[in-house]
Structure 1
Amino acid sequence: MTSARYTVNDVMTKTVVTVTPDTEFKEIAAVMERWKVTAVPVVEGGGHVVGVVSGADLLPKEEFHEHGPGMIDHMRRLGDTAKAGSVRAEELMTSPAVTIEPGASLPQAARLMAGRRIKRLPVVDADGRLKGVVSRADLLKIFLRPDDDLTAEIRREVVDRLFPTSRQNVKVGVTWGVATLTGRVRDATLIPVAAHLAQSVEGVVSVDCRLESQASA
């Protein structure tokens, strides 16, 4: 009893700016500035993703521009100090890249971003070829679904299926993503199930379930 789930493919950005392993530092910085992005996938022949260069990968060059790292910093931050002297994407990038497939669910993408503390994920097919990029902002697009669409889905996928004999007694309303269910139903044991399923509808912010049993009338 589930409605169609939105996937990464539904919200990702499909036109993606990329660099190659040979792209030099200054060009990478220029690309990020021109396209207003914080990271770029590094691709090689056939569009295969081999890494990602982020703004964080570029910052060590500025950090250690005037004064090189001391011995303690050098030992503690070997990765950063190495990047400070790097000039090409293949030396700067994080590899292998953390990626996700187009068919992954939005919660899967959100958990991966949170767990790896990253803001953008290259989206690749089964062969590792770049298909798009999904960002935190892309995942939030689902909450822009119109309230009328959410209302219709909750009624169709939750109310009509759980309460076929008493669905006419149930009212569904959604305002600014907050769903309200009111009315009386025959099977009180399904009320918490209805609340859970309504909450799982993509784009619903929260649910106020006020359903009651007809037996309590």
Structure 2
Amino acid sequence: MRTGPHVVSDVMTRAVVAVGVDTPFKDVVRLMERWRIGALPVLGGEGRVIGVVSEADLLPKEEFRDGVPDRYAQRQRLSDLAKADALTAGDLMSSPPVTVHGATTLAEAARIMARRGVKWLPVVDAEGRIEGVVGRSDLLKVFLRDDEDLTEEVRHEVVDRLFPLPADHIRVEVHDGVVTLAGWVDGAGLIPVAERLARAVEGIVDVRCRLNGAIGAR
């Protein structure tokens, strides 16, 4: 049984479609279309990720096809106007790229995606070389863990750690990712802790806490 939080390397896609700085604009579009992806890492020397090209980086060429906006809009969108004239991935890319390491927890990767407004992240090693990519759908893979695995982790990481052995009087059941904790415990004060720790187990959808304990006892 796995202990500790899941990390990016557990769920990332290792087969990466990437481009170099000199990749022509149309080849970038073709790759996105062929592989049904919305962004590509841009690699420099030794496979280091130096930028990212997304669909949003490609759109200015179409948006400004009929001409440039007024002067005020130009000042507000200098970067987009430059991308409208881009010919290569190096001209298009956003740099420096937002990346994560394989050891980054899934929770932290999710926070980075939300904070930076991105749908996926390149995964790099300590030298910045590409190792894979991780997307929003990858982070949701923990919810595919089977109920038996989740039951074992909640039993081991929550019940056995919080309450003295034997803890056979505490029942742990998981159905469709929803865990039920039932039975009696030595201290009512630990019940909220047990509920919080169970909820933190990756793959748990909800917690139904039906534990009872004597107030004042440990």
TM-score normalized with structure 2 length: 0.94
The answer for the alignment partner of 1:114 in structure 2 is 114
* In the alignment, structure 1 residue 92 sits paired with structure 2 residue 119: no
Give the AA of the match of 1:159. Answer: V
Give the corresponding residue for 1:39. Answer: 39
Letter in 1 for 2:181: L
Cα gap change, 1:73 to 1:215, in 2 (>3 Å) = closer
Structure 1 partner of 2:206? 206
Structure 2 residues without counterparts, runs of 5 or longer:
none
Q: What CA deviation, in whole Å up to 9, does each residue of 1:155-183 have, x standing for no partner?
A: 11111222233511111111221111010
Would you say how many aligned residue pairs link Structure 1 and Structure 2? 215
Q: Which residue in the other structure is 1:3 paired with?
A: 3
Matches within 5 A, 1:74-153: 74-153=74-153
User: Structure 1 vs Structure 2: percent identity of aligned residues?
Assistant: 53
Correspondence for 2:30: 30
Shift, 1:30, TM fit: 0.4
Separation in structure 2 between the aligned mates of residue 163 and residue 120 of structure 1, nearest angstrom: 40
CA distance in 2, matches of 1:87, 1:159: 59
Amino acid at match of 1:3: T
Q: Which moved more, 1:61-70 or 1:207-216?
A: 207-216
**Higher deviation after alignment, 206-215 or 102-111:** 206-215
4+ residue runs of structure 1 moved beyond 6 angstroms? none
Are positions 1:157 and 2:157 aligned together?
Answer: yes
Structural mapping, 1:170-181, within 5 Å: 170-181=170-181
Contact 2:142 2:202 in 1 (8 A): yes
Q: Which amino acid letter does the alignment assign opposite residue 116 of structure 1?
A: R
Alignment RMSD (CA, Å): 1.6
1:159-210: CA deviation from partner (whole Å, max 9, x where unpaired): 1222233511111111221111010111222111111111111111121111
CA shift at 1:74, angstroms? 1.6
C-alpha spacing 1:64/1:215, structure 2 compared with 1 (3 Å): closer
Q: What TM-score do the two structures reach when normalised by structure 1?
A: 0.94
Q: Secondary structure at the match of 1:122?
A: strand
Structure 2 match to 1:21 = 21
Pick which of 27-36 and 171-180 moved more: 171-180
CA distance in 1, matches of 2:215, 2:66: 78
Q: In structure 2, what residue type is equivalent to 1:55? A: E
Match of 2:59 in 1: 59
Worse overlay, 54-63 or 193-202: 193-202
Q: Distance in 1 between matches of 2:148 and 2:67?
A: 59
